[in-house]
Structure 1
């Protein structure tokens, strides 16, 4: 049986790509590794931030939806994103940085068993910095040396992702029985799962919460993509998803990776995505994120697409 190797990327909704671009590059120090458009609706930006090359497991992705209203928080939603930083000293550094940039944040606390600093962007997207404490990270994650953040405190990549659901057992079964995630801890209303034993870079916290489902808007999380190596593995998971009675989108070619989408029994949208070919498929490493990159099937519409987009820089 194939396995899941951790997170691939996570995708959110922003109302304003310009503000979003400034925050994730200038405040968080991530690299904008791809400036493209939503392939299903090419009139809006799709931005990716990550490490030097946007390696799987470091990618934060945003769809710009200018008409997005506020998010009405609730259950049956992905409700938080963990980002790994090197040390406890890094959390102290980030607390001061958030004060400097007037970013809403907590005191240093604990989350999923790690020292943590919770914060939000200006649209209410909930994130938390987690102390990686020198633990192993994927060897292919590569630091972006032009980051505005001090080298010893830079964000390494994605850590624990939080999912809040009405029925914990339903999502728990999807993770453990179908995907082979390891259950680390379990209480009546919360469980922690890891795709790679002992590693936060593939960790998911599932919380049980009654009440109305979240109504998504700006600052909400659209879906979580989990990582597989190649198309062969993706074909395997496509069959597994269908065997479990879930509807699969079938394999979709996103040019930078191939993927499929499905919703679990709580309505959580998962994507399963391949490692390659990656964001250097149409750009050099040096030029990543600088120009508007379009998949080949949209190139003939470039003039029309660019005319509808506002400049970011």
Structure 2
């Protein structure tokens, strides 16, 4: 994974949840470059490593999303071991976070939980995990390092047409199916492990989901550089899936494509990164804009709801 982007109802509430409760670093407070009245908040490990990014759009006046099939239904976070899950159960209870008991998923211990918008999340234990390395916990979090989140785990995609999603993952994107359990199938790519997995849930019995806050907007998969991204853009084009083509987001380069009905995937480069326009100590506190939007700063700031993200306080 590179990042997962969801939609939240309120920027202050999602900052408090992701940073103060989950202990993630708000590495960048900026705007959705396609909707300038909307924050784009990036929560990561200590240094903003690709593969640790859970990000949020806060579209004004957006209605709550509806769960169902044909949606990216759950993002997950990696924690170091099974003992960390016991810590998080206590922390969730302390912060009144709704959660399920510890359970098993494809041989790993997990906790499913959700936020104030009913956004569905999961903690997954790296106790038996190998493959893609995690990141480094945010050093200013009050979560002890031995229990802290180190990056993104598997993303779950719920679909009506399993055969199509299987084709996209295996034939186009190079994933391999590892296991099946009921309605769920586990896929893995590259070096493998929790940082390189997708879970597909096959559901024909649910209504079609409706986009809105509390739901995930898109999932982004990692590419090393612009050259590699270009190769993937050409590959997606060969399969005639709807796609955006090359987009320069300043902090990374990307291409978006429609993997299945209502399922938006992105291919994003690992760099150049989030600290090229501000220092580590100031990251996430002030509104940062890429150079091509700086001339519109006054107009943009006027249209945004103020949000206090100063973790020094």
After TM superposition, list the pairs within 5 Å mapping 1:151-162 onto structure 2: 151-162=145-156
Q: Distance in 2 between matches of 1:190 and 1:140?
A: 24
Higher mean alpha-carbon deviation, 207-216 vs 116-125, is at 207-216
Give runs of aligned pairs for residues 152-231 of structure 1, distance below 5 A.
152-186=146-180, 189-210=183-204, 211-231=206-226
1:312 Cα deviation (Å)? 1.4
Determine if contact 1:119/1:128 at 8 Å carries over to the other structure.
yes
**Structure 1 match to 2:311:** none
- Aligned with 2:17: secondary structure? helix
Quote the offset at 1:65 in angstroms.
1.6
TM-score, length-scaled by structure 2: 0.94
What is the CA–CA distance in structure 2 between the aligned matches of 1:88 and 1:273, rounded to whole Å?
Answer: 31
1:133 aligned onto 2:133: no
Q: Within 2, Cα distance between the matches of 1:294 and 1:260?
A: 20
Bigger mean CA offset, 278-287 vs 233-242: 278-287
Flag the 1:198–1:259 CA change in 2: closer, same or farther, 3 A. Answer: closer
The 2-side partners of 1:235 and 1:140 are apart by 26
Cα offsets for 1:13-66 (capped at 9, x unmatched):
111001111110110000100000011111111100011122111001100023
Show the counterpart of 1:41: 35
Equivalent residue number for residue 268 of structure 2? 273
| SS at 1:294 equivalent | coil
Partner of 2:259: 264
Residue correspondence of structure 1 range 298-313 to structure 2 within 5 A: 298-313=293-308
Q: Tell me, yes or no, if structure 1 residue 75 matches structure 2 residue 69.
A: yes
Cα distance in 1, alignment partners of residues 290 and 191 from structure 2: 36
Shift of 1:134: 6.0
Deviations 1:54-84 (A, max 9, x none): 2111001100023122221110100011111
Any gaps of 5 or more consecutive residues in structure 1?
1-6
Instruction: State the distance in 2 between where 1:140 and 1:282 align.
Output: 25
Give the number of aligned pairs: 307
**Alignment partner of 1:116: what SS?**
strand
8 Å CA contact retained: 2:4, 2:220: yes
How far apart in 1 are the matches of 2:25 and 2:257?
29
Residue 302 of structure 1 aligns to a residue whose secondary structure is helix
Residue 4 of structure 1 is matched in structure 2 by none
Q: CA RMSD in A?
A: 1.5
Once the two structures are TM-superposed, the CA of residue 186 in structure 1 deviates from its matched residue by: 3.3
Q: Note if contact 2:132-2:194 (Cα within 8 Å) is conserved in structure 1.
A: no
Aligned to 2:247: 252
Give deviations 1:251-270, integer Å, cap 9, x for gaps: 00000000000102333100
Work out the CA distance in 2 between the residues paired with 1:115 and 1:99: 18
Q: Provide runs of 4+ in structure 1 moved above 3 Å.
A: 134-140, 186-189
In the alignment, the residues of structure 1 paired with residue 47 and residue 132 of structure 2 have an alpha-carbon distance, to the nearest angstrom, of 14
TM-score, normalised with respect to structure 1: 0.94
Q: Counterparts of 2:135 and 2:183 in 1: how far apart (Å)?
A: 33
* Cα distance in structure 1, aligned partners of 2:91 and 2:54: 20
Q: Is the contact between residue 184 and residue 202 of structure 2 (CA under 8 Å) also seen in structure 1?
A: yes
Deviation at 1:135, TM superposition (A): 3.4
| Aligned position for 2:59 | 65
Give the Cα–Cα distance (whole angstroms) in 2 for the partners of residues 267 and 293 of structure 1: 30
